[in-house]
Amino acid sequence: MDLPLIFAMLMGLAILAYVILDGFDLGVGILVPLATPDEQDMMVASIGPFWDANETWLVLGVGILLVAFPQAHGVILTALYLPVALMLVALMLRGVAFEFRAKATGWHQQLWNRLFFVGSLGAAVAQGMMLGGVVTGFGKGALFVGFELLVGLGLAGGYALLGATWLVIKTEGDLQARALRWGKGAAFLAAAGVAAISLATPFASANIMEKWFAWPRLLWLSPLPILSAAAFAGILISLARLQRGQSRREYLPFVLGVWIFVFAFAGLAYSLFPYLVVDRMTIWQAAAAESSLRFVFVGACIVLPMIVAYTLFSYRVFWGKARSLTYGE
Amino acid sequence: MFADPLLLARAQFGLNIAFHILFPSITIALAWVLVYLRVRIERTGEAWLKGAYRLWVKIFALSFAMGVVSGITMSFQFGTNWPGFMQKAGNIAGPLLGYEVLTAFFLEATFLGVMLFGRDRVPAWLHTLSSFMVAIGTSFSAFWILALNSWMQTPQGFEIIDGQFHATDWWAIIFNPSFPYRFTHMMIASGLTAAFLVAGISAFQLLRNAQFEPARRMLRLGIVVAAVLTPVQIFVGDLHGLNTLKHQPAKIAAIEGIWETGRNVPLLLFALPNNTERRNDYAVAVPGMASFILTHDFEGEVKGLSEFGDKHPPVMQVFWSFRIMVGVGMLMLLLSWGAIWQVFRRKPSPRWMLLAFAGMTFSGWVAVLAGWLTTEIGRQPYLVYGVLTTAEAASDVPASHIAITLVGYAVVYSLLLVSYMVVVTQLAIKEAAGEKTPEPVNPAFQSGIA
C-alpha cells in the first residue's frame, strides 16, 4: 500500500475542506463592514456555531503535513515564516473577536468588531500569499511578493464569494438582498484571482508548463477551465434570478462557488503532484517512516468517518435560516 | 543576545506555549464543572444553578476560544521554530499530535457549537451529551499532548537510524516512564486552576453582593474541590519528583541547587544560585532535608550538577520557578483548608477570606506556568532528553524575522490577556448585580455569541 500517496490525498482533502468551510466563515467576516450593526450580528450568528470546527481542518491539514511529511513540514513552514505568522495573528484576533464583540462593552466592543474584519481579511490574504509561495517554489524578490499579494486578494475574493452565497442561504429580507449584491462583486474578484494564478503557475516551473500545455494533455485538461468559467457564469445568472425573484434555489450560488474551489484545487493538485516543494521534494522523499504512517492510518480510518458524521450532525442541528444566538438555560 | 536566533526562537515558542497553556488549564476542568451543572439543572432545575451556568458557560466559551486560537499557533510553530525536531523526531511526534487532532480537536470544536447554542434545538439529553463530548475532548487533548511532552522528557520505544528516530513500540512511547505522573499532575493542576478561578470570581461577586446565591454555592463548590485536590496534588507532585530524580537527575540537582554530589544534602529555602562561580549565594538551608525528601533517608546520596559537565540546565530559573510553584501550592493548601472549616461549620465566609480568594483567582496560572518552566527549562540543553539538543532542532530563519514576529505576538497576547481578564470581571459584575440580560434589541450582541 502506498501510504505516502494516501496521506497526500488525505492532506489535500483536509485542505480543500478547510478552504471551503473556513472560507465561507472568513468570507462572512470580510463582508461585515458592509452591513448595519443589526445585520452584522445576524451574519455572525450564521457562522457562530461552526467557525471553530471549520478551523480545525486547518490544524488537520498542517497536522498531516507534520505526521506524514516531516521532512517537508519544516522546509515549507520556515520558507513561509512571515505569511504564516501574519495568518496566525489574524486568525487569533478574529477567533477571539467572536467572543469579545459580544461580551465587551463600549469602545472595547467597537474595537473587536473592527478586529473581526481585519483578522478575517488578514487571514485570507496571508493564506493566498502562502499559496502563491508554494506554487512558485518560494521564489524571492519584489515580483514574487507582488504575485503573492495578487493571489492573496484573489483568495479573499473567493472567500467573500463563499461568504456572500452562504448568507444567501442563511438569511432573509434586506440582508439577503445585500448578500446577493455582494456575491456578484465577489464573483468577479474571485474569477480574476483564479485566472491570475492559473496563468502564472506554469511560468514558475518548466515542469508545470509541460504538464499543462503538451499536446494532447491540453485537450483532456480543457474541461477544468471550461467548467470553472461555466460555474462563474452560473453564479452570476443564479444570483440575478434570485434577485428578480425568478428562482427560489437559494443554495445554488453557494454550491457553484464550492465547485469553483474544487476545480481550482484539482488544477493545483495536478500542477504540483508529486511535489510538496516544487521541483525539489516529492511526497515520497518527504514521507515519514512506514511504521509511523501505519500507526496513524489505522486511527484515521476509524476516526475520520466519525468526524464527518458528527460534523454533518452539527450542521443539521443549525439547519435553516440563522436565528440570533443564545446560550440556553 | 538579540542576535541569537536560538534564544529568540526559544523566547517566541516559550511565549506562545505559556500563553496557550493558561486557557486549557481552565477549560479542561471547567468543562467537567459545566457537565456537572448541566446534569443538575436537568434533574432539579434549581434557580441558582441556572444563574451559575449562565455565567460559567460564557467564561468557558471565552477561555475555549483563547485556547483554540493560540493552539492553532502552536501547531505551526513546531515547524517554523523547530524544523530539526520534526525532521529528526517527526516519526514519533507527528503521530501523537495527529491523534490529538483526530480524537480531540474535532470532537470538542464540533460539539462546542451544539453545547453553546443548541439548547433550544436539540433534546435535553443530547445537549447534556454534547457538553460531555466537549469535556471528553479536552481531556483527550491533554492525554496526547502530555504523552508527547513526557516522551521528550523520558524517551523510549524508538531506535535511531541515520540520525532519524523510528518508533519500535508505540505502547512504550505513549506510556513512557514520566507520563502517568505528568498527566495526573497536569489534570489536577487544571482542577485547581478552575477551582480557584470559580472560588475567586464567586468571592469577588459576594464582596459586591453578599446575598448573591449562585456565587455562594459556586464558592462552596470551589472550596471543596480545592481542599480535596490540593493535598492530592502535593502527594502526586512528590511522586513526580522522585520519578524525575530517577530519569532526569540533572533537573532535580538544578531544582535543589545542588552543585556537588554528596550525602546529607541540605534543602535550600532561599539562595541565589551562581552559574559562573558554581555555588549558591545567600543560602538559607535545612540540613539533610533534600536528601530526606529525595531518598527518604537523611544520609541518602544525591547527585550534583558537576556530574553532568555542561549538559545541565541553567540553575537560577529552575531553582526559583520550582519554589514559586511550591509556594503557591502551600498558599492554596492553607486557604482551602481554612475555608473548608467554615463550610463545615455552615458559617458564611468572612470578608478577609473572600478577599483572599478574590486575590487568588488566577493563582492556578502562576503555579502552572512556574511548574512548566521548571520541567521545560529543566530539560535543557536537550529537546529530547539525552538524545537531541535544542540547538540541533532550531531553524535557520533570520533572527530579524523571529524578533519582529516575537514583538507582534507579544503585543497581541498582551491585548488578549488584558481583554480576557477585563471581560471576565465585567461578566461577573453584571451577573452579581442581578441584571437580567435584557430582551434583545440587538439579539446576538446582548445574548452573547461565542
- Digit-coded pLDDT (tens) for B304-332: 888 887 888 888 889 899 999 999 999 99
Give the residue among B201, B179, B181 at the shortest CA–CA distance from B30. Answer: B201
What is residue A163's predicted lDDT score, i.e. its pLDDT? Answer: 94
From chain A, the residues in CB contact with B122 under 8 A are: 317
Q: Give the whole-angstrom CA distance, residue B331 versus residue B366.
A: 12
The whole-number pLDDT of residue A329 equals 59
R_g over Cα of chain A: 20
Q: Rounded distance, CA A213 to CA A209, Å?
A: 6
CB contact under 8 A, A44 and B444: yes
Give CA–CA dist A101/A104, Å, rounded. Answer: 6
Q: How many CB pairs under 8 A join A and B?
A: 278
Which residue do the cell numbers 476542568 mark?
B29
Q: Write out the H or E segment, with its range, that includes residue B9.
A: helix B5-44
Torsional class of B346: left (φ above 0), alpha (ψ -120 to 50), beta (otherwise): left
What is residue B443's predicted lDDT score, i.e. its pLDDT? 40
Contacting residues of A for B408, CB less than 8 Å apart: 85, 89
* B448 pLDDT higher than 80: no
Q: Does A41 touch chain B (CB under 8 A)?
A: yes
In this complex, do B107 and A66 lie within 8 Å of one another by their Cβ atoms? no
Number of Cβ within a 10 Å radius of residue B295: 16
Domain A3-317 has CATH 2.30.30: no
Confidence grade of residue B447 (pLDDT, cut at 50, 70, 90): very low
Sign of CA dihedral B122, B124, B126, B127: positive
Cα dihedral across residues B330, B331, B334, B339: positive or negative: negative
Rounded to 5 degrees, φ, ψ at B274 are: -110, 105
The answer to whether the beta carbons of residues A321 and B120 sit under 8 Å apart is: no
Mean pLDDT to the nearest integer, B121-148: 91
Cα distance between residue A167 and residue A47, in whole Å:
9
Evaluate whether B204 touches B351 at the Cβ level (below 8 Å): no
pLDDT at A232: 92
pTM: 0.87
Looking at beta carbons, which residues of chain A come within 8 Å of B95? Answer: 67, 292, 295-296
Query: Which of A162-182 are b and which e, b meaning 16 or more Cβ less than 10 Å from the residue's Cβ?
Result: bbbbbbbbbbeeebbebbbeb
Task: Give the nearest chain B residue to A7 (CA atoms).
Answer: B98
Best residue of B116, B117, B169 to probe chain A, by most A CBs closer than 10 Å: B117
Q: Which of A286, A285, A134 is nearest to A204 (CA)?
A: A134
Grade residue B450 by pLDDT with cuts at 50, 70 and 90.
very low
B165 → chain A, closest CA residue: A289
What beta strand segments (E) does chain A contain? 275-277, 281-282
Listed by number, the residues of chain A in 55-114 with a beta carbon closer than 8 Å to a beta carbon of chain B are 55-56, 58-60, 62-68, 70-71, 73-78, 81-82, 84-85, 88-89, 91-93, 95-96, 98-105, 108, 112
Angle between helices B315-344 and B213-247 (to 10 degrees): 140
pLDDT band with cut points at 50, 70 and 90 for residue B266: confident
Q: Which residue has the cell 550538577?
A: B305
**Of residues B50, B58, B91, nearest to A103 (C-beta):** B58
pLDDT above 70 (res B438): no
Mean pLDDT for B432-439 is: 58
Asked if the Cβ–Cβ distance from A41 to B116 is below 8 Å, we say: no
pLDDT bucket at B253, cuts 50 / 70 / 90 = confident
Kindly determine whether residue A77 and residue B117, on different chains, have CB atoms separated by under 8 Å: no
Could you say which residues from 189 to 218 on chain A have a Cβ atom under 8 Å away from some Cβ of chain B?
none
CB-based contact A225:A189 (threshold 8 Å): no
**pLDDT tens sequence for chain A (329 residues):** 788 899 999 999 999 999 999 999 999 999 999 988 888 888 988 988 888 888 888 888 888 888 888 888 878 888 888 888 899 889 988 988 888 888 777 777 788 889 999 999 999 999 998 888 888 777 777 878 888 888 898 899 999 999 999 999 998 888 899 999 999 999 998 998 888 888 877 777 777 888 888 878 888 888 888 998 999 999 999 999 988 888 888 899 999 999 999 998 888 888 888 888 877 888 888 888 888 888 888 888 888 888 888 888 888 888 878 877 777 65
What's the CA gap between B29 and A168, in Å, rounded? 40
Q: Is the pLDDT of residue B398 over 70?
A: yes
Share of chain B above pLDDT 90, in %: 36
CB contact under 8 A, A292 and B442: no
Question: Is the model's pLDDT at B439 over the cut of 70?
Answer: no
How far apart (Å, rounded) are the C-alpha atoms in residues A15 and A71?
19
Task: Residue A56: list chain B partners with CB under 8 A.
Answer: 101, 105-106, 109-110
Helices (H), B248-362: 249-256, 289-295, 315-344, 351-359
C-alpha span between A136 and A131 (Å, rounded): 9
Q: DSSP class of residue A154?
A: H
Q: Which residues of B touch A70 (CB under 8 A)?
A: 86-87, 90-91, 93-94
DSSP state, residue B103 = I
3-state secondary structure of B159: strand
Smallest Cβ distance to B69: which of A41, A76, A95? Answer: A95
Q: Would you call B422 exposed, middle or buried from its count of C-beta atoms within 10 A (0-12, 13-18, 19+)?
A: middle
C-alpha neighbours within 13 Å on the C-beta side of residue B72: 31
